Chains A and B, each alone.
Chain A
Amino acid sequence: MSAVEEVVTEAPAVEAVPKRAMTLGVGTSLVVLAALVLAPLFVKNFIIFQMTMLLIYGLAVLALNILTGGSGQFSLGQSAFYAVGAYTSAILMEHVGMNYALTLPIAGIICFGFGFLFGQPALRLSGVYLALATFALATAMPQLLKLGYFEHWTGGVQGLVVTKPDAPFGLPMSQDMWLYYFTLAITIGIYIASVNLLRSRSGRAFMAIRDNEIAASAMGVDVALYKTLAFGVSAGITGVAGGLGAIAVQFVAPDGYTITLAISLFLGMVVGGVGWLPGSIVGSAFIIFVPNIAEGISKGLSGAVFGVLLFLVIFLVPHGARQVAIVAQQMLGKLKKN
């Protein structure tokens, strides 16, 4: 067997889902949407803030899902893109005085460029090696943000304080609630665009590369271009999430964007189901709420409890929320028959 054939027959690195199973049905989508729209009307501001963070991390997990589930590339460096997005928004708001909403597309575009450029050297790497290269990026980012050279803009170790926006047009709602609906609108927009993208010619090219690079190339897919585009898109969405995160938390500092964040996002993707976009929100809920639950069970051993919970999830449902959804669907189907 020649080297080429070996590559051809090599199993794909990521166990992925067929495209049809990537989204929710219309009915389920409407129920989820209604829950997301109505829930904040009945809860306290702190919970609304947590729900906003749920959406923001959900976006970041979705971005990683497009990269890993869609194009089959790993990344442990998403925290770096998130940080660049957060700092872009914070600097534009505080130093330039730009409107918070306008900073988000800029954060997205800058991160897209950053991810696209990072994707160039990453082309030579795959699997665990790519994961390590992105890990290096995540490790370097907080220190780069602390550099004295940029201190005038970034605020150095101190970071920057961001002003929380009021609801516009004199709408009678709290800042938290306004920010939640603002984030929800952006999340829905990005979710729909992502679904469209993965179902399109470009999305098919991503998935073709994920499944078999040589065959994809023989069909005319520019493997290098689409791999870097996937990195760019993923980084761009993560950047928007980072910008929203900065506005919601009202603060950016280098140590908020360490490798721990990147690993959390990776965890969120696995728990939600690799390649299953709706799972992103479930994964996000896991990384936000489960540490709190663990702390509730045992203050001193919260890390260990979290570990046990994580272990249980991976052991019981290795394919994450997607697996739960499939089982639920089958059970519903059986109920209907009876």
Chain B
Amino acid sequence: MTQAQLAQGNSPLLAVRDVSVVFGGIIALNGVSFNMHKGNILGLIGPNGAGKTTLFNCLSRLYQPSSGDILMEGASILTRPPHRIAEIGIGRTFQNVALFPNLSVLDNVRVGTHARTSSDIISDSLKLTWVRRSEADVNKKVHEILDYLDLEDVAHTTVSGLPFGTQKRVELARALAADPKILLLDEPAGGLNHEEVYVLGDLIRKLRDERHLTVLLVEHHMGLVMSIADHVVALNFGRKLAEGTPAQVQADPDVIKAYLGSKDQ
């Protein structure tokens, strides 16, 4: 066990510490801090341009913060390149769905296991015994996930031909295949109708309860966030505006002002 794990105890699974991001002269994020605890669903809300996506991209290592730190189980993730984020248990989905359009559902989800498996081109070309065994494990796991998310019927379909809602589920399946501890969901309700959003909310809660996931939900859909989040962080103009339970954040005067404007202005 590493020191970080021993020290964990009651400490947060993921800690965002005073993170700032500056693009040229624009401050996209300004000293944002919050903690994510195991088994929680954390909702990150804010109007357009508040810095939600910027923060999200820092977590998935597409942006490098100008200052501050992000700790996963006590260890900084900022020294890791983007492709070594999945292996420490951070999985993600994309805002407008970023699947591999020419691959089947099965192969998309198989790619999800990349961080949890190993191989080299020689063994793969020769299909050595250990490669076959590893592939058999991958297939077992992938089919279990497809079954869990009700995707078995479309397993062999190329994803580009699937309806948007199904593609979103495939993306979720792909993220699950990497055995994440934290799942980062970037606007999962975008493009879904009222009923689908409701189903999605149940699914996220189910994932948290049955698969022991911690979820970061970046979302515009206030109804979804307020109904499923345990904890809400509100951003505006790159700063943290408010933090607390959904009810507390909803009642916060600053949040109301940011969303609806105030009489004084």
Please list the residues of chain A having a beta carbon within 8 angstroms of any beta carbon in chain B: 2, 4-5, 8-9, 12, 16-20, 193-194, 196-197, 200-205, 207-208, 210-212, 214-223, 229, 233
Q: Scan B93-134; emit 1 where CB is below 8 A from any A CB, else 0.
A: 011101111111001001110111101110011110001001
Asked if B231 CB lies within 8 Å of chain A CBs, one says: no
Q: What's the Cα separation between A196 and B122 when bound, in Å?
A: 10
Q: Choose one: B110, B114, B119; the contact of A220 (CB below 8 Å).
A: B114
Residue of B nearest to A214 (CB): B98
Q: Is B87 at the interface (CB under 8 A from chain A)?
A: yes
**Inter-chain contact A200/B124, CB cutoff 8 Å:** yes
Residues on the A chain within 8 Å of B86, using CB: 218-220
Bound CA–CA A2/B120 (angstroms): 35
Known: A19-B104, A204-B107. A8 touches B124 (CB 8 A): no
State the 3 A-B residue pairs at the shortest beta-carbon distance, nearest first: A220-B115, A200-B124, A211-B100
Q: B residues within 8 A CB of A193? A: 125-126
Q: List B contacts of A219 (CB < 8 A).
A: 86, 111-112, 114-115, 174, 178
Q: Which of A20, A215, A221 contacts B99 (CB 8 A)?
A: A215
Which chain B positions have C-beta within 8 A of A9?
96, 98
- B257 at interface, CB cutoff 8 A: no
Any A CB within 8 A of the CB of B82: yes
Known: A202-B119, A220-B87. A208 touches B100 (CB 8 A): yes
- List of B residues within 8 angstroms of A214 by Cβ: 62, 94, 98
The answer to whether B114 touches A211, judged by C-beta atoms less than 8 angstroms apart, is no
Contact residues of B with A, CB < 8 Å?
53-54, 57, 60, 62-63, 82-87, 92, 94-96, 98-104, 107, 110-112, 114-117, 119-121, 124-127, 131, 134-135, 138, 156, 158, 174, 178
Contact of A221 among B57, B63, B114, B138 (CB under 8 A): B114
A219 to B107 Cα, complex, angstroms:
13
Contact of A8 with B101 at beta-carbon distance under 8 Å, contacts A197-B124, A204-B111, A207-B107 already known: no
A196 touches B126 (CB 8 A): yes
- 19 CB contacts below 8 A, A to B, read A5-B95, A12-B102, A197-B121, A197-B124, A197-B125, A200-B124, A200-B127, A201-B114, A202-B120, A207-B102, A211-B101, A211-B102, A212-B101, A215-B98, A215-B100, A217-B82, A218-B60, A220-B178, A229-B121
Cross-chain contact B100 with A207 (CB below 8 angstroms): yes
Q: Is the CB of B107 within 8 A of A202?
A: no
Verify A16–B102 contact, CB threshold 8 A. yes
Q: Known contacts A201-B114, A202-B119, A220-B84; can you find 12 more A-B pairs with CB under 8 A?
A: A4-B62, A19-B107, A196-B124, A197-B124, A202-B124, A205-B114, A216-B111, A218-B83, A218-B85, A220-B85, A220-B86, A223-B83
Beta-carbon contact of A200 and B82 below 8 Å: no
- Once the chains are docked, how many angstroms separate the CA of A229 from the CA of B124? 13
- Hey, which chain B residues are within 8 Å of A17, CB to CB? 102
Report the separation of the CA atoms of residues A194 and B122 in the bound assembly, to the nearest whole angstrom: 10
- Name, among A9, A12, A202, A222, the residue most crowded by chain B CB atoms within 10 Å (CB to CB): A202
Could you say which residues of chain A place their CB within 8 Å of the CB of B120? 202
Q: Are B121 and A8 in contact (CB under 8 A)?
A: no
Q: List residues of chain A with CB within 8 A of the CB of B95.
A: 5, 8
**Which A residues touch B156, using CB under 8 A?**
20
Q: Determine the distance from Cα of A221 to Cα of B82 in the docked complex, in whole angstroms.
A: 9
Are B103 and A18 closer than 8 Å at their CB atoms?
Answer: yes
By beta carbon, the residue of chain B nearest A220 is B115
A203 contacts B124, CB within 8 Å? yes
Are B96 and A20 interface neighbours, CB within 8 A?
no
B129 to chain A, nearest CB (A): 13
C-alpha gap A20/B85 in the complex (Å): 30
On whether the beta carbons of A18 and B111 are closer than 8 Å, the reply is no
Report the minimal beta-carbon distance from B122 to chain A, rounded to whole angstroms: 9
A144 to B125, CA, bound (A): 33
- The CA of A203 and the CA of B135, in the complex, are separated in Å by 13
Question: How far is the CB of A292 from the nearest CB of chain B, in Å?
Answer: 34
Least CB distance from A277 to B in Å reads: 13
Give the chain B neighbours of A203 by CB distance below 8 A. Answer: 124
Q: Give A222 to B54 CA distance when docked, in angstroms.
A: 23
List of B residues within 8 angstroms of A229 by Cβ = 121
Q: How far is the CB of A258 from chain B (nearest CB, A)?
A: 30
Give the distance in Å from the alpha carbon of A19 to the alpha carbon of B178 in the complex: 21
Which residues of the partner chain B approach A19 to less than 8 Å between Cβ atoms? Answer: 103-104, 107
Q: Is the CB of B121 within 8 A of A233?
A: yes
Query: Do A2 and B53 have beta carbons less than 8 Å apart?
Result: yes
